[in-house]
Amino acid sequence: MNDLERKFAQTIKQNKSTIYTVCYMFSKDADEVNDLFQEAVINMWRGFEGFENRSNVKTWIYRVTLNTCISLDRKKRHATAEPLEIDINLFEDSDEDTRQVEMLHKRISRLQPFDRAIVLLWLENMPYEEIGQVVGISTTAVSTRLYRIKEQLKKMND
């Protein structure tokens, strides 16, 4: 393993939960999370050598992961597939916290991909300025969009 590969492996290891969280917000099940995670890591590897540290590595990771998830989400919406139906849900948990998280996840998944990305970064406690850097808008625009997104989420019915 050369130095670049070691540095990349360390970067992925340090930011695994960030990548996973973004992928989770764009998925419907555990398999899709894993597929998105793998695609995001592949895309990071492709761009890792050219990453010039002009931004924080975590900002770069968010940007690559979000772009990967949004791109695959768009492709998925255009493709037609027959879902595989299974009578049991092995991931089902019935406590109140889990139900609240599932409700929030369902509502967020109904947002447009760009808004989903903004709310995800906000839920990760990222400062507005950094959210703006990741998604490519001003800090003021982040604040305005978040207000509108929160209002939209409040109005949604399960």
* Residue pair 139/127 in contact by the 8 Å Cβ criterion: no
- Does the global pTM surpass 0.75? no
Residues of the chain with CATH 1.10.10: 93-158
Arch. (CATH architecture) of 93-158: Orthogonal Bundle (1.10)
| Residue entry with tokens 């001003």 | 138
Write down the pLDDT at residue 90: 44
Helices (H), 94-127: 96-109, 113-123
Domain 1-90 -> CATH class: mainly alpha
Higher per-residue pLDDT: 77 or 9: 9
pLDDT digits 0-9 by tens, 94-125: 567 777 778 888 888 889 888 998 998 898 88
Residues of the chain with CATH 1.10.1740.10: 1-90
Torsional sign, CA 69, 71, 72, 75 = positive
pLDDT digits 0-9 by tens, 17-52: 999 989 988 888 889 999 999 999 999 999 998 887
